[in-house]
Amino acid sequence: MSSVDGEGAFASAADGVCPFRLRDGLPPLGEFTIGADFADLLVSEATSRRPRAVLEAGSGISTVLLGHCMQLWAGHVYALEHLPQYAQLTREWAVRHGVQNITVIDAPLQTHVIGGEQWDWYDISNVPAIAYDFLVVDGPPRKTGALARYPMLPLFAKQLGPSPCLLLDDADRADEEAIVRRWQAEFPQFRTQRHQTQKGAVLMTAGSAS
């Protein structure tokens, strides 16, 4: 497991390495951002799995942390953000911390039809058509609609690498619990593991590297 201290040091025991030290420390973690325990889990999973391409629903502190991790093995993070001000803020954080392997994609919410149902989710027209090893789901916000984060897996199931994983934040909420149940029913190849973080987290893995 990894840990964040008040001065921006971020250390991980994954593979026995200490990945990076943040230049200016982290913005406050908690209610309106990922929690420190989810940040620990995110960095631990990333550094142990070493994905080449990460696709993130939502952007922010997690994007910068992932970018730091991915620099260790020349990976890249693509983050979808529907609010231009938050997309720009994430880009500014990336510059401040010297992280260059991040692409924040301006992705306003639009209607997608999945299984005959309509969903308001990110515009994916500018998402690179590559294989993704790691999906991080921390958006869109719950207020955008019921089961707002469900579309991530069905929309990108055919763009996943051979041993993909998905990490979902806020997994203790009723909507996220319902989303996980739908994913489990529709994608039985994934195995599910719950983590007891402040807001709950679910890790779903498939293939040989689970």
Encode the chain (210 residues) as per-residue pLDDT tens digits. 333 443 344 444 334 344 555 545 555 554 446 888 899 899 999 999 999 999 999 999 899 999 999 999 999 999 999 999 999 999 999 998 889 999 999 999 999 999 999 999 999 999 999 999 999 999 999 899 999 999 999 999 999 999 999 999 999 999 999 999 999 999 999 999 999 999 999 999 998 755
Which DSSP symbol is given to 127? S
CA–CA separation, 172 and 165 (whole Å): 19
| CA pair distance 157, 183, nearest whole angstrom | 11
Instruction: Classify each residue of 66-104 as buried b or exposed e, where b means 16 or more C-beta atoms within 10 Å of its C-beta.
Output: bbbbbbeeebbbbbbbbbeebbebbbebbeebebebbeb
pLDDT the model gives residue 196? 94
- For residue 172, with 0-12 CB atoms within 10 Å meaning exposed, 13-18 middle and 19 or more buried, which class applies? middle
Closest CA to 138 of 58, 198, 45: 58
Given this structure, which CATH class describes domain 36-206? alpha beta
What pLDDT does residue 35 have? 83
How wide is the angle at C-alpha 163 spanned by C-alphas 117 and 128, nearest 5°?
60
Tell me the angle at which helices 36-49 and 61-71 cross, rounded to the nearest 10 degrees.
30
Calpha distance 88→76 (Å, rounded)? 18
The whole-number pLDDT of residue 106 equals 98
DSSP bridge partners of 117: 114
Residue 14 makes CB contacts below 8 A (sequence gap 6+) with 2, 43, 44, 45, 47, 48
Cα(105)–Cα(103) distance, rounded to whole angstroms? 6
> Using CB atoms within 10 A of its CB, is residue 152 exposed (0-12), middle (13-18) or buried (19+)?
buried
CA separation for the pair 119, 111 (Å, rounded): 5
**Tell me, what's the pLDDT at 43?**
92
Encoded amino acid at 6, one letter: G
How high is the pLDDT of residue 36?
A: 84
